[in-house]
């Protein structure tokens, strides 16, 4: 009662934001540039942090221009780091709100919100005898987490980036090669062109025998899934996507955000999450690709289309939709 309307925990948050029992938070303690447009962010998680498995990602909530935005980032630190801190490594993408903020503007001391680590892009309990990492661009991040955590008996990596100076963790990778802990094929797409997946026969002749983890742009992952399926070894390929595979679009419509009372026109390809944010509506989100359910919102009227499957969902009492992978299918209203 003494502290009403502010709760005692709000005062505690001011003096001890990382304490046990507080909403899980982290403090950015350093930002190290990796390339011109990528940086590693060192985070001290609060007391409730339960650790991670190499290859997993964490959802973080960052305030950008006064708006809390949630994004997912793979953990790049080893799981047994002695100082208890964790790292994520972020590549700034053109017009990217959070990635540019973290790479170019985030300052040590900044508090962020954290979720527990999650994700199934991880190694099995028994270390595979032969491993292939197939990565491109920022897709190297979860794999670096694995390489820093585990010594493999036989591991090959095929990594693509536009130019040598764009290769994130290049020095670390070359140090592993020098120590004979990794065989690396580094492809520079500005000069070599995009990897043609059939070149794997020449680059890694025994690729089909290897347990493979692949992470990179959709084109690479789609080609890999087809290639592994074609050879009948799809179960040996594990993929991590940073963006949803959008396969079906259709006609859009008028979208009403029933709580805020805003109505905007939307096409049938843009996720309602983006439509809402663009209209200035506060939209909860997390991974932005249909895996974390951080964006679920009641559908009050009309219909939406799942951009991954084309499935239409119509409004009924209690129906929830994932706004990050749903687009308007005609007029619709969602509770935001």
Ligand X SMILES: Cc1cc2nc3c(=O)[nH]c(=O)nc-3n(C[C@H](O)[C@H](O)[C@H](O)COP(=O)(O)OP(=O)(O)OC[C@H]3O[C@@H](n4cnc5c(N)ncnc54)[C@H](O)[C@@H]3O)c2cc1C
> What does each C-alpha distance from 197 to 79, 241, 310 come to in angstroms?
32, 17, 28
Question: Sign of the CA dihedral 48, 51, 56, 62?
Answer: positive
Q: Judged by CB under 6 A, does residue 324 bind ligand FES?
A: yes
Q: Which residue is closest to ligand X by CB?
A: 96
Degrees to nearest 5, angle at CA 59 with 53 and 62: 140
Enumerate residues 273-312 that contact ligand FES by CB under 6 A: 285-288, 290-295
> What does each C-alpha distance from 327 to 28, 126, 261 come to in angstroms?
35, 41, 19
Question: How many CB atoms sit inside 10 A of residue 165's CB?
Answer: 10
Q: Judged by CB under 6 A, does residue 52 bind ligand X?
A: no
**Partner whose binding site includes residue 135, from ligand X, ligand FES, none (CB under 5 to 8 Å by kind):** none
**Partner whose binding site includes residue 285, from ligand FES, ligand X, none (CB under 5 to 8 Å by kind):** ligand FES
**Partner whose binding site includes residue 56, from ligand FES, ligand X, none (CB under 5 to 8 Å by kind):** none
Given the complex with ligand FES, which of 51 and 284 has the nearer CB atom? 284
Q: Judged by CB under 6 A, does residue 243 bind ligand X?
A: yes
Burial of 128 (0-12, 13-18, 19+ CB in 10 A): middle
> What does each C-alpha distance from 220 to 111, 135, 235, 240 come to in angstroms?
35, 8, 17, 11
Joined together, the tokens standing for residue 180 give 């004979």
Q: Which of 25, 27, 52, 71 forms a contact with ligand X (CB under 6 A)?
A: 71
Residues 97-116, one symbol each (x = binds ligand X by CB under 6 A, - = not), give xxx-----------------
CB of 148 to ligand FES, least distance (A): 26
Task: Name the residues that contact ligand X, by CB under 6 A.
Answer: 57, 71-74, 88-91, 93, 95-99, 119, 138, 141, 242-243, 287-289
């Amino acid at each position: 009662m003494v502290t009403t309307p502010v709760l005692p925990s709000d005062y505690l948050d001011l003096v001890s934001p990382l304490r046990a029992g507080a909403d899980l938070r982290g403090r950015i303690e350093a930002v190290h540039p990796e390339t011109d447009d990528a940086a590693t962010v060192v985070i001290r998680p609060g007391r409730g942090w339960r650790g991670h498995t190499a290859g997993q990602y964490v959802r973080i909530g960052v305030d950008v221009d006064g708006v809390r935005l949630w994004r997912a980032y793979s953990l790049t630190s080893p799981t047994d780091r002695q100082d208890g801190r964790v790292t994520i490594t972020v590549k700034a993408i053109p017009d990217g709100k959070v990635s540019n903020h973290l790479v170019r503007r985030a300052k040590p001391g900044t508090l962020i919100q954290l979720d527990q680590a999650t994700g199934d892009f991880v190694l099995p309990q028994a270390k595979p005898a032969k491993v292939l990492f197939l990565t491109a661009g920022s897709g190297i991040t979860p794999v670096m987490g694995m390489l820093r955590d585990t010594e493999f008996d036989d591991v090959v990596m095929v990594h693509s980036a536009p130019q040598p100076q764009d290769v994130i963790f290049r020095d670390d990778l070359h140090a592993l090669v020098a120590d004979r802990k990794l065989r690396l094929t580094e492809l520079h797409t500005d000069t070599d062109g995009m990897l043609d997946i059939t070149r794997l026969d020449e680059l890694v002749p025994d690729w089909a025998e290897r347990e493979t983890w692949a992470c990179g742009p959709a084109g690479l992952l789609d080609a890999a899934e087809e290639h592994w399926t074609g050879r009948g070894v799809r179960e040996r390929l594990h993929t991590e996507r940073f963006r949803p595979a959008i396969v079906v679009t259709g006609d859009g419509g008028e979208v009403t955000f029933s709580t805020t009372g805003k109505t905007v026109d939307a096409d049938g390809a843009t996720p309602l999450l983006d439509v809402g944010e663009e209209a200035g509506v506060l939209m909860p989100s997390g991974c932005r690709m249909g895996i974390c359910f951080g964006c679920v919102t009641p559908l009050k009227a009309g219909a939406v289309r799942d951009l991954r499957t084309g499935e239409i969902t119509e409004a009924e009492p209690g129906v929830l939709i994932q706004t990050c992978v749903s687009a308007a299918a005609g007029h619709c209203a969602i509770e935001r």
